[in-house]
Amino acid sequence: MKRAFLQFTLAAGLVWLAGCSVMPQRRPSEPGRTTLASPLVILPAQLIGNYLLLEVKWDRHGPYRFLIDTGSSVTLVTPALAQRYPGREPFSPAATRVRVTGADGGVKELPRASLRRIDLGEARFDDVEVLVYDCAPLSAHLGVRIDGVLGFPLFRETVLTLDYPGARVILQAAADRPLLPGSAVAFDDSRKTPVVPVKIGDRTVVALIDSGSDAVFSLNPLGMEPRFASGPAEGGTIGTLGGERRRRVGRLADSLAIGEHVFREPVVDLTDELSAVGGGMLRHFAVSFDQKRDRVIFFRDDRAPIRPLGVRSAGVSFTKTPAYWRVSGVVPRSPAEVAGVQTGDLVTRINGEPVAQWELRRYDQLVATAQGIVLTFLNGTAETEKRVSVFDLVP
């Protein structure tokens, strides 16, 4: 999954602190066994930002909360869950470690283990191979405890539908050959993630379908020379397991088409990695992944072209803890930089309220609607306030 603090996106098959998407340097194993207790398993989901969050309970320790990351070739779980349900390969300090590449090219090693079970309502997955990762930064960002990130291969024996408008996840047996409405696009499953062709203007590029990304579309411009209607502009920093990098975002002058659906002048994040369709685009659809037949199906009642909204910014990005938010980056030449906000500054309050009261959705709504935000900074034992203007980073 991929990306950033207060602008976290989990994207393009790489690990981001926002959501832990990974691409290990080994072929992942398939789940040991998948059992569906009914022909259709329908799971209510919560839409936070552009992420679908599942909350499930199968024992007295729950509820457990999971994100589904179709851009990840493995499943990640917290140490607590790995220790509670050890499988054939128990988690231990001496566990075999897998090298994981971050979006900035940095490498980190995560312990490998197996989980005896994961229950999603009436769907049960046994003997699940996992990597163990503490998703505390993601939990702090979303404002709820996250117990794991479910990778694409976990659903290999099912048809997985992410119904964003209906805020639900649907599972059905792949062998049932379900009749699914919508526009079908064949995908390349060789990397155990769904890579599909998309068109930008008259050019065809391949892109990962990445529900672990908060972005609309992440574009690798190498060899393309894309035309921009606005930008690209330098944004805030994006945090990854391997470090931090600055975001660059702009609005394309050309349309983007995936199957029969068209996005006019979409907003894109520029990347050095594989291009990716993120949650900001997926949220318009019910998206069904049929791994047995290597196809993904996009369904939307309205066939009219979509023009994604622009990007508003307060000019700062943060890493979060319950007590304070640390400024991890300041947008160059933004009102925040003019006001003297610097990387490393500690923010204790937003509009007079402690930062602990500001979870992702509330903060996003504030940035989307406010003309300015008052930030309270901690300087030693004293607090000072600065008002930063909110502006259109990309109209």
Task: Note the pLDDT tens digit of each residue in 323-337.
Answer: 888 898 899 999 999
Asked whether residue 270 carries a pLDDT value surpassing 60, the answer given is yes
Given a contact cutoff of 8 angstroms between Cβ atoms, the answer to whether 181 and 168 are in contact is no
pLDDT tier for residue 354 given thresholds of 50, 70 and 90 = very high
What pTM value is reported for the model?
A: 0.86
Amino acid at 158: T
> CA 140 to CA 189: how far, in whole Å?
33
pLDDT at position 254: 95
Residues 366 and 373: their CA atoms lie apart, in Å, by 8
Element (H or E) spanning 280, and its range?
helix 279-282
**According to the model, what pLDDT value does residue 8 have?**
31
Would you state the pLDDT for residue 238?
65
What is the sign of the dihedral through the CA atoms of 337, 341, 343 and 349?
negative
342, with CB counted inside 10 A (0-12, 13-18, 19+), is exposed
Residues 11 and 22: their CA atoms lie apart, in Å, by 9
Separation between Cα atoms, residue 267 and residue 393, nearest integer Å: 11
Find the mean pLDDT for residues 218-240.
85
Residue tagged 């944004």 (tokens): 235
pLDDT tens profile 88-104: 888 887 778 887 765 44
- For the 1-309 domain, the top CATH level (class) is mainly beta
Q: What pLDDT is stored for residue 12 in this prediction?
A: 29
Same fold, 1-309 and 312-394: no
Helix ranges restricted to H, the chain: 79-84, 136-142, 279-282, 335-338, 360-369
* Residue 10 confidence (pLDDT): 35
Answer whether 131's CB lies under 8 Å from 76's CB: yes
For residue 53, what pLDDT is reported?
A: 94
pLDDT at 178: 66
In whole numbers, what is the pLDDT of the chain averaged over residues? 85
pLDDT at 29: 44
Q: Give the separation between CA 199 and CA 226, rounded to whole angstroms.
A: 12
| pLDDT of 23 above 60 | no
Strand partners, 379: 382
Over residues 167-175, mean pLDDT: 92
Per-domain boundaries in the chain:
1-309, 312-394
Counting residues of the chain whose pLDDT is more than 70, the rounded percentage is: 87
Q: What is the pLDDT of residues 109-152, one digit of tens each?
A: 889 999 999 999 999 999 999 999 988 878 877 778 899 999 99
pLDDT at position 129 is 92
Confidence of residue 188 (pLDDT cuts 50, 70, 90): confident
19 vs 146: which has the higher pLDDT: 146
- Strand 276-277 to strand 217-219: parallel, antiparallel, or no bridges (unpaired)? antiparallel
The CATH T-level fold of domain 312-394 is Pdz3 Domain (2.30.42)
Say yes or no to pLDDT of 19 above 50.
no
Q: What is the pLDDT of residues 202-213, one digit of tens each?
A: 999 999 999 988
- Measured at the CA of 270, the angle between CA 269 and CA 272, to 5 degrees, comes to 135
pLDDT at 305: 93
pLDDT exceeds cutoff 60 at 261: yes
Look at residue 24 and tell me whether its pLDDT is greater than 90.
no
- Candidate from 188-197, 285-294, 306-315 with smallest mean pLDDT: 188-197
